[in-house]
Amino acid sequence: MLDDASSPTPQAVTVAASTAAHRLQPLLHDLVSTVRAPTVALSGGDGQIRPAGVQGVFHADSRALSQATLTIDGREPEAVGHAPQGPGATRFVTLARWLGDPVPDPTVRIERFRQVTPGGMEERVEIVSSASVPVAAVVSLELGCDFAPIEVVKSGGDTVEAAAERTAPGEISWTSGGVRVVVTGTGARAEFAEYARTGFLRWPVELAPRGRVTLSWRVEVRDPQAVVTAPDRPAEWAEGEGAPRVVAADHRLSRLFEQSMDDLRSLRLAETATPGDTFLGAGVPWFLTLFGRDSIWAARMLLPLGTELAMGTLRTLARRQGTRIDPGSGEAPGKIMHELRRHEFAVEGNGLHLPAAYYGTIDATPLWISLLHDAWRWGAPATEIAALLPHLEAALGWLGGHADPDGDGFIEYVDTSGKGLANQGWKDSGDALRFHDGRQAQPPIALVEVQGYAHQAARQGADLLEAFGRPGAARWREHASALAERFRARFWVDGPRGRFPALALDRDKRPVDALTSNIGHLLGTGLLTEAEEAGIADLLVSPEMAGGFGLRTMSADAGGFSPLSYHCGSIWAHDTAIVVAGLARAGFATHAATLAEGLLVAGETFGYRLPELFGGDDRSALGRPVPYPAACRPQAWSAAAAVTVVHAALGLYPDVPEGRMLLRPLAGAPLGAVSAHGLRVAGTEVSASVDREGEAVVTGLPGGISTERARTSRP
């Protein structure tokens, strides 16, 4: 019997079935995001929102528009370029080369100016002709809506278009479950496809020679069920006069700071019930909501710009601090939550089912304590700090109790529900924790950086208790001291370049011996001696760790290394920045500058909007970082990384309660001369600069604060 070449082989059928069952997360790296939280538009570089992947207008974890495709006489314009135009705004430039004069140069140009606002989007379409003849055409905008939850989109799940409704002239709407989406086109005619569930706005246009016409349309989302909203007050680092600005000899740093500030303004959120307390949504599009760890780290990194964001973040999380034991959500008394959604976050195909309020994080609680402490040092009002002290005591209680379920003296986690996150540190992907030979570690897991966070939190919590006349300071200092002794006895391992702390202890209390970026988070926590910090600093800038554009999450010589893995070889901007900050404060100027320079290259590559992460390929591979295709962009702590690099260069470390400002700029000014204006200490605007010789100056400090200069280098 002859083979039928047109029929698939059994192997091909198996592969096809497997592919259909294995849904793929949509890629993001080539999309353009325009955001004003809690609303974001994701489109192609031509401005088109196509019914594919993660493109669309999203609002508070739900897709409001799944399509907004512009055509002229039934043809899509050709893309030329696009650029951000400030917070929540993007301009797209396209061409209609089939219109106008029959010459090589294009004579009809279309610009789409997109402005996203909380709960909506407006777009102005300008058609400009430089042709010598009149131009007549019909402009159409095809629109669709599927109300797809963000977790369905993230998992590549199937969605169904909702039926468009006829409402008013020039208006199309959709309704589902109390959410209503309304699109209005000024001067447009609304039409509806008989064969589909989409609607159209149409404008007939006529342009005189060298004429122009402007069209406009808008979408409004009415969503009473949203759990997050826009804050009801501007940021203390809002736009305009007095806004933070940076002037640097290296213009990449200035431009990265400027774009990052625009992104940070766009990511500001509040809970619907308390719009006065601001926090940062973690990232676009998957995490545009409250995330304990991410929101805390971003607020902590932005303290040089003021304490208002920090206090809003602290209060928001304190209101949701755990009060009971709930294995399903991970809640425990005193614990700080991980993430907040409008409903259960169930990712199709991987068994992940997170309740709307989920507490599966091991590090948010000690980081909350450290943010409270650092905000106090930067001059947050004492009355606001005092109001949170009961929550501090509850968080310390968790640290000394439920955080250590087996009583071995280390903080550890395990997902007992079977439906939550398998890994609950910042490297929370399922395969993030690996031994040097590539084997995966099994839970319960005691992460290395979390022991550092816990040590620092215990000491800082003690400082707060003592300063505000509350009992318990001695207990928590003893707790920190005992943890440091246990850590030194159990975590350190030998490697080709010397000793270093292991990534974690696994369920059998074996050190997970891969060299990773996690150990950089120990700098400044007090868990290390000066000699240990020096050894770690050298390891962090070794070719295996710093051979890319920033700090790799895992050493390139580890068995589990992959440059495009989520946590096993990629580079995260915030991770690199946290380590830069630790190195800078410890006096390792050259080390800090090596990693910071990688971020500046990455910033330039990605249009000064640093993504969540990017590839950890060696610099020699392409000469520029490779995008991680599903990375969020913008992302709060990636944008905040620019502020951290500026802060590290300047070296301002205030202790407002003690009336001191320590100055420790990077020795030798390895990032060049830098000046910053619009910084804030105790609510007062200050300016700081470091010249090309490394001399630092700060002006505008509040009365009663004296400056002292620290030694700027370490042996």
Letter string b/e over residues 113-142, b meaning 16 or more CB atoms within 10 A of that residue's CB: bbbbebbbbbbbbbbbbebeeebebebbbb
Are 331 and 359 in contact by the 8 Å Cβ rule? The answer is: yes
For the whole model, what pTM was predicted?
0.95
Distance CA 666, CA 498 (A): 26
User: Is 51 strand, coil or helix?
Assistant: coil
**C-alpha dist (Å) from residue 296 to 257, 313, 338, 409, 500:** 20, 7, 10, 25, 27
Distance CA 530, CA 588 (A): 11
Q: Work out the widest C-alpha separation in the chain, in whole angstroms.
A: 96
User: What does the DSSP 8-state code read for residue 556?
Assistant: T
Q: CA angle, corner 111, sides to 110 and 117, nearest 5?
A: 145
pLDDT in the model for residue 713: 56
SS (H, E, C) 189-247: EEEECCCCCCEEEEEEEEECCCCEEEEEEEEEEECCCCCEECCCCCCCCCCCCCCCEEE
pLDDT in the model for residue 14: 35
Distance CA 301, CA 293 (A): 12
Q: How many CB atoms lie within 10 A of CB 86?
A: 12
Q: Please name the amino acid found at residue 581.
A: A
pLDDT in the model for residue 58: 98
pLDDT in the model for residue 15: 35
pLDDT in the model for residue 652: 97
pLDDT in the model for residue 13: 34
Distance CA 423, CA 445 (A): 8
Are 84 and 262 in contact by the 8 Å Cβ rule? The answer is: yes
Q: How many CB atoms lie within 10 A of CB 16?
A: 11
Q: Please name the amino acid found at residue 504.
A: A
User: Is 418 strand, coil or helix?
Assistant: coil
What residues are paired with 614 via a beta bridge?
571, 627
Question: Which residues are CB-contacts of 188 (< 8 A; sequence separation ≥ 6)?
Answer: 141, 170, 201, 202, 203, 215, 217
Q: How many CB atoms lie within 10 A of CB 30?
A: 9
What backbone torsions phi and psi does residue 410 show, to the nearest 5 degrees? -115, 150
Overall fold of domain 32-226: Beta-galactosidase; Chain A, domain 5 (2.70.98)
Distance CA 557, CA 49 (A): 42
Distance CA 335, CA 444 (A): 18
By DSSP bridging, strand 706-709 and strand 660-663 are parallel
Distance CA 232, CA 119 (A): 14
What backbone torsions phi and psi does residue 621 show, to the nearest 5 degrees? -70, -55
Distance CA 342, CA 334 (A): 23
pLDDT in the model for residue 6: 35
| Chain segment 502-545, per-residue pLDDT in tens | 999 999 999 999 999 999 999 999 999 999 999 999 999 999 99
Are 229 and 38 in contact by the 8 Å Cβ rule? The answer is: yes
Q: Which of 215, 239, 223 is nearest to 63 (CA)?
A: 223
Are 212 and 126 in contact by the 8 Å Cβ rule? The answer is: yes
Are 28 and 629 in contact by the 8 Å Cβ rule? The answer is: yes
Distance CA 303, CA 278 (A): 14
User: What does the DSSP 8-state code read for residue 86?
Assistant: S
What residues are paired with 217 via a beta bridge?
123, 185
Regions of the chain short of the pLDDT cut 70:
1-22, 194-196, 348-349, 711-715
What DSSP string runs through 465-531?
HHHTT-S-HHHHHHHHHHHHHHHHHHSEEEETTEEEE-SEE-TT--EE---BGGGGGGTTTT-S-HH
pLDDT in the model for residue 197: 81
Distance CA 45, CA 48 (A): 7
What is the Cα gyration radius of the chain? 27
Q: Which of 388, 398, 395 is nearest to 313 (CA)?
A: 388
Distance CA 647, CA 676 (A): 9
Are 256 and 248 in contact by the 8 Å Cβ rule? The answer is: no
pLDDT in the model for residue 712: 53
What backbone torsions phi and psi does residue 153 show, to the nearest 5 degrees? -65, -45
SS (H, E, C) 595-650: HHHHHHHHHHHCCCCCCCEECCCCHHHHCCCCECCCCCCCEHHHHHHHHHHHHHHH
Distance CA 339, CA 327 (A): 16
Question: Which residues are CB-contacts of 404 (< 8 A; sequence separation ≥ 6)?
Answer: 410, 411, 412
Q: How many CB atoms lie within 10 A of CB 435?
A: 20
Extents of the domains making up the chain:
32-226, 229-696
Distance CA 302, CA 637 (A): 9
What residues are paired with 252 via a beta bridge?
none
Element (H, E) at 390: helix 389-399
CATH classification code of 229-696: 1.50.10.10
How far does the chain reach from its first CA to its final CA, in angstroms? Answer: 80
